[in-house]
Amino acid sequence: MRVLVVLLFAASASAFAQSPAPYAGEQSRAIKALSEDEVKSYLAGAGMGYAKAAELNRYPGPMHTLELADKLGLSSDQRTAMESLMKRHKAEARELGAEVVRLEGELDALFAQTKATPGLVDAKLAEIGAAQARYRGSHLKTHIEATKLLMPDQVARYDALRGYTGAAPAGRSGGHGQGHKH
């Protein structure tokens, strides 16, 4: 048994040693820390999974709500309000995404120009973290706003249509506060 384990370990170590480094080829990226798809997604204001906390806890997003508008029975007022929300959000998310990309580019430049110091890196990371938080916050807050435009039965239908069959979180029913209006 020991011989088999040693042989398997040696074979896997040999295969690992022969394989390229995990970042091989990425050195030619414009911004080393972001793939081309990530840059495109940020610049497009894409969700990138940043709103999962909302989406999977009964806070529908406007894009998928509009895609499911007929099945959800959205009124014309709801559609108009959801379209307006989506338009405002996308404009904001694109602007915030461009900021993240710009700041990542500045971090990359610190290293590319051999100007990186712990202090400069800490400062740039703080800026990037704040920009990413604003980007994510835009997505999450948009889900909150979208949910306010829906009736509880529409939220339940949305969850079913999207394949989220779990129960509502404790203390929450259908996504509405006391002052909900259409």
Residue 26, pLDDT score: 86
Mean pLDDT, range 12-41, rounded to an integer: 80
Angle at 50 between CA 44 and CA 161, to 5 degrees: 95
Res. 24 pLDDT band, cuts 50 70 90: confident
Is 1's pLDDT higher than 80? no
- HSE at residue 111, side-chain half, CA atoms within 13 A, is 14
> What's the token pair of residue 135?
């980007």
For the chain, give the mean pLDDT: 86
Q: What is the CATH number of domain 32-159?
A: 1.20.120
User: What would the pLDDT profile of 119-134 be if each residue is shown by its tens digit?
Assistant: 999 999 999 999 999 9
Rounded distance between C-alpha atoms, residue 77 and residue 113, angstroms: 54
Helix axes 36-44, 76-112, angle to 10 degrees: 140
Q: How far is CA 104 from the centre of its chain?
A: 16
